[in-house]
C-alpha cells in the first residue's frame, strides 16, 4: 500500500478562481503534488489538501 504525505493550503476568499488554479498548478508541477480534497467554506474561501507519494529507497544488499 502506498504511503502519502499531505500538505494543507488555505486560499482566502478574495483570490480568484484563475489565481487559485495557477497556485495549485505550480504545486503540482514543481512539487509533484496532486489534489486530494478541496473544501469550499461558507465565507467563500477554499481549503485544499494536496498529497504526494512517498517513495522509499531500498538498500542494496550485495
Q: What is the mean pLDDT of residues 15-44?
A: 94
28 burial class (0-12, 13-18, 19+ CB within 10 angstroms)?
Answer: middle
pLDDT at 27: 92
Q: Is the pLDDT of residue 55 over 80?
A: yes
Q: What is the mean pLDDT of residues 19-44?
A: 94
Using 50, 70 and 90 to split pLDDT, how confident is the model at 41? very high
Are 51 and 4 a contacting pair, CB within 8 Å? yes
**What does pLDDT average to over the chain?**
92
| 6: nearest Cα among 50, 38, 59, 44 | 50
Are 34 and 50 a contacting pair, CB within 8 Å? yes
Amino acid at each position: 500500500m502506498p504511503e502519502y504525505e499531505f500538505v494543507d493550503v488555505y486560499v482566502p476568499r478574495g483570490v480568484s478562481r484563475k489565481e487559485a488554479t495557477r497556485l495549485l498548478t505550480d504545486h503540482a508541477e514543481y512539487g509533484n503534488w496532486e489534489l486530494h480534497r478541496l473544501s469550499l467554506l461558507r465565507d467563500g474561501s477554499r481549503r485544499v489538501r494536496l498529497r504526494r507519494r512517498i517513495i522509499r529507497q531500498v538498500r542494496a544488499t550485495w
